[in-house]
Structure 1
Amino acid sequence: MSTLHPTVEQAQALMELERHDQARELLARRLAEDPGDVRAWVKLGYCHLNAQDPGQAAAAADEALKVDPEDYLALLLRADALVRDNGWLTVQPILREAIRVAPHEPHAYAMLADAVWRESLVRFAKETGARELSTRDMDRLSRDAADLAMEALRLGPEHLYSHEIAHRIASAAGNGTVADQLDEAILRIDPGHSEALARQTAKAARAPGVGAAQAAELYADALATEPASDTMRRQLDHATYRLLRGTRWLAVLCVVLAGAMVNVFPSEDEPAPDLPVPIGQRLWCLVLMAAVWAFGAWRRYRRLRTGVRLNVRSLLRRGRWARVVVVQAIWAMLCALLIAELPWTDLSIPQLLFWAGLIPTAATIWFDRKKQG
């Protein structure tokens, strides 16, 4: 590969700083001096791509290929410009030419795997009219693309894009074991890879026996690594909401404890106690309810990491359903306290309070299960 002209080197440094307009001006100046500078044409093409102008990028690639029809980077630029313009189904000839020119470079193999995979799925859908593909069909249609992806991985064991394409193909084909291995490799190459991190965190959070608190902490840890991930932020909100939903069960349990103490529904076998219930018994019921909340909510909340505790407060400010859950828990607890702590002489009002605390809460426990908060 030829040495870069100092002006092209300067433009490349500006591109790395995302100052593409300034880089484009420098490259235009360089090309006015020497229209045969292939590297300048390629850099200019990527400036256009970064400006979301694939047409101009393709034109720059064509100019570079006029100077050197077998320039690998110019061929890749032409392929990138084409796929940015929804040309995945027509890009294969360019990528195969790039592989012929540089058979040991992994990127063209990875792009070709992507293009072959997409074309096979589109062709199958057109031929069969299928709107959804089974895992078996996906596996069969992905074999050629998977072979190309494996070749890209062989040529570039540290090449991130090859791992991403191989993972996409393996995941679509239902090969979860290979997909997990590829995710681990992606995170070894790039520990902050948002998609792989989100997938691995979600897998760990959904494992059997992992509760809402553990899931929330897993997502909080992942967000500390990749704070810009919207996917993991949503999952953290969902796990936090599951934590808040658990408070309603505690409140319902307290309502049941209070109702059992007063025996709001007496029978011949279990007649109602003499009213009012002695103060010692009422205080003991209060102790039991405090223990329920201490071990069921407060102790758990205090053990949560700071990031999760902050998200609990944040979700309460942002999420309508999160506030609904907390209000319902407070309402049920208020009913439980009124039943247990006031010296009732008649069962009619405790019975009313029992149903008032139980029914509105229990009616929505299943309804809002899939809410995000």
Structure 2
Amino acid sequence: MTTTLHPAVERADLLIGLKRYEEARELLAGRLTEDPEDVRAWVELARSHLGDEENGAKALEATERALALNPEDIGALLTHANALRVGGRFPESEGVLREAIRLAPDHWYGYARLADWLWRIRIIGSGQANGGQVQREDMLAALRESDLIAQEAIRLGPEKVYAYEVAWLIADMSGDRTAADRMDEAILRLDPQHERALARRTQKAATAPGVKATEAATLYADALASAPGSEPMRRGLDAASYRLLRGLRWLALLCLALSAAGIDLFATEGETQRELPLVLGQRLWDLVPMAAVWALGALLRYRRLRAGVRVNLPSLIRRLAWARVVLGQAAWAMLCALLITQIPWTERTVPLVLFWAGLVPALATMWFDRPRNG
């Protein structure tokens, strides 16, 4: 049976949704002065205290008043369970949630909430019984018990995202990646813009073996278009963008190697090195393969990037010092390559110094800076 809410209680409910808890409490205080037996007003008052996350005792007092008026009120029981959790009496919430399920056995939410909390309660109990150490057997048993309840919540509420979120968390804690992925797919079917599920799916695709930096950046950029506020996906896009910048350093080192080959910098057994200085036509010709490397490896790739990735690249350079270091190393290697090929050297001593000067700084940090992406 649907309960008709007093207008003041309805307004308080809206204010709580807007996180304007103090205003909601003022309305509810007036309503409870007028009718101290309004169960819904007591429940909403408890919710307003829970919103502050610091008034667990006051929330408990309000739910106890509501349950004293109607011990079988489902909303009061669920809010009381939450108040017990916030008020430091978490294990007691199990009994309250089981009572809510007994009174409303066909309502999905009680099962979902119990599944969400039960394994945590069991782990707390295991830790207390074993001197702070949680036994693995106890944890797995708790997760199995909770999973059965979560599956019942899904059966009763097949279109409710929260039920699948609980099942995903239990599968993740159990290490069952197949079940966790299946829950993510179900969540995204119901809510294609679900931030956490979208971030998990995108990260899995972007970090799969063989996925290149361009593909990873595209995946994150596409996902951010659906959930622009996702911090994990922003970090993922930064990581992929950083990989793209590191690729520029490889292009510069390739050009440095081409410059060394262009003037026969290193003697090869059985072959005569070119005479120095190289003629102007040969020096200009040495620029052609370098230009091709940058045109195909950087310019063409950049033009094909998603707009979001192109915007993120300069932003990352401004925000991340290591991105600037990588670009600086690429520019330095290219400068050395140009000096080697374009100056009419009469001997190879200085070009050899330039070659190692361009190569060593990049090699010295190439592996060290791999995780420097955030």
Give the TM-score of the pair, scaled to structure 2.
Answer: 0.94
CA–CA separation in structure 1 for the residues paired with 2:331 and 2:11: 64
Pick one of 62, 77, 80 that aligns with 2:79. Answer: 77
Pick one of 30, 38, 57 that aligns with 2:59. Answer: 57
CA–CA separation in structure 2 for the residues paired with 1:139 and 1:88: 20
CA–CA separation in structure 1 for the residues paired with 2:44 and 2:180: 34
Look up the equivalent residue of 1:68 and give its one-letter code.
Answer: N
Partner of 2:116: 114
Post-superposition offset of 1:86: 4.5
CA gap of 1:133–1:326, structure 2 versus 1, over 3 A, is: farther
Partner of 2:209: 208
Partner of 2:197: 196
Post-superposition offset of 1:27: 1.1
CA–CA separation in structure 1 for the residues paired with 2:169 and 2:291: 51
CA–CA separation in structure 2 for the residues paired with 1:234 and 1:340: 40
Cα contact 2:126–2:134 (8 A) shared by 1: no
Look up the equivalent residue of 2:61 and give its one-letter code.
Answer: A
User: Can you list the C-alpha shifts for 1:274-319, whole angstroms capped at 9, x where unaligned?
Assistant: 0012222222221100110111111111111111111101001010
Post-superposition offset of 1:248: 0.7
CA–CA separation in structure 1 for the residues paired with 2:226 and 2:87: 33
Look up the equivalent residue of 1:93 and give its one-letter code.
Answer: G
CA–CA separation in structure 2 for the residues paired with 1:170 and 1:87: 26
Partner of 1:94: 96
Partner of 2:301: 300
After the TM superposition, which of the residue ranges 313-322 and 267-276 deviates more from structure 2?
267-276
User: Can you list the C-alpha shifts for 1:131-189, whole angstroms capped at 9, x where unaligned?
Assistant: 7987x885444111110110111111122221111000011212212111111111222
Post-superposition offset of 1:9: 1.6
5+ residue gaps in structure 2?
Answer: none
CA–CA separation in structure 2 for the residues paired with 1:229 and 1:137: 35
Cα contact 2:126–2:138 (8 A) shared by 1: no
Look up the equivalent residue of 1:80 and give its one-letter code.
Answer: N
Pick one of 67, 70, 83 that aligns with 1:68. Answer: 70
CA gap of 1:273–1:132, structure 2 versus 1, over 3 A, is: farther
CA–CA separation in structure 2 for the residues paired with 1:86 and 1:228: 32
After the TM superposition, which of the residue ranges 77-86 and 328-337 deviates more from structure 2?
77-86
CA–CA separation in structure 2 for the residues paired with 1:140 and 1:13: 40
After the TM superposition, which of the residue ranges 20-29 and 304-313 deviates more from structure 2?
20-29
Post-superposition offset of 1:85: 3.5
Report how many residues are paired: 372
Partner of 1:355: 356
Cα contact 1:160–1:189 (8 A) shared by 2: yes
Tell me, what secondary structure is at the counterpart of 1:91? helix
5+ residue gaps in structure 1?
Answer: none
Post-superposition offset of 1:124: 4.3
Tell me, what secondary structure is at the counterpart of 2:153? helix
CA–CA separation in structure 1 for the residues paired with 2:261 and 2:132: 59
CA gap of 1:247–1:268, structure 2 versus 1, over 3 A, is: same
Cα contact 1:139–1:174 (8 A) shared by 2: no
Cα contact 2:47–2:79 (8 A) shared by 1: yes
CA–CA separation in structure 2 for the residues paired with 1:129 and 1:320: 46
Post-superposition offset of 1:129: 7.0
Partner of 2:337: 336
Tell me, what secondary structure is at the counterpart of 1:339? helix
Give the TM-score of the pair, scaled to structure 1.
Answer: 0.94
Look up the equivalent residue of 1:81 and give its one-letter code.
Answer: A
Partner of 1:18: 19
CA–CA separation in structure 1 for the residues paired with 2:293 and 2:353: 23
CA–CA separation in structure 2 for the residues paired with 1:323 and 1:65: 62
Post-superposition offset of 1:45: 1.0
Tell me, what secondary structure is at the counterpart of 1:12? helix
CA–CA separation in structure 2 for the residues paired with 1:38 and 1:71: 8
CA–CA separation in structure 2 for the residues paired with 1:130 and 1:43: 37
User: Can you list the C-alpha shifts for 1:254-286, whole angstroms capped at 9, x where unaligned?
Assistant: 111100111212144233210012222222221
Look up the equivalent residue of 1:63 and give its one-letter code.
Answer: R
CA gap of 1:298–1:202, structure 2 versus 1, over 3 A, is: same
Partner of 2:313: 312
User: Can you list the C-alpha shifts for 1:107-136, whole angstroms capped at 9, x where unaligned?
Assistant: 2111211222113334445566797987x8
Look up the equivalent residue of 2:102 and give its one-letter code.
Answer: R
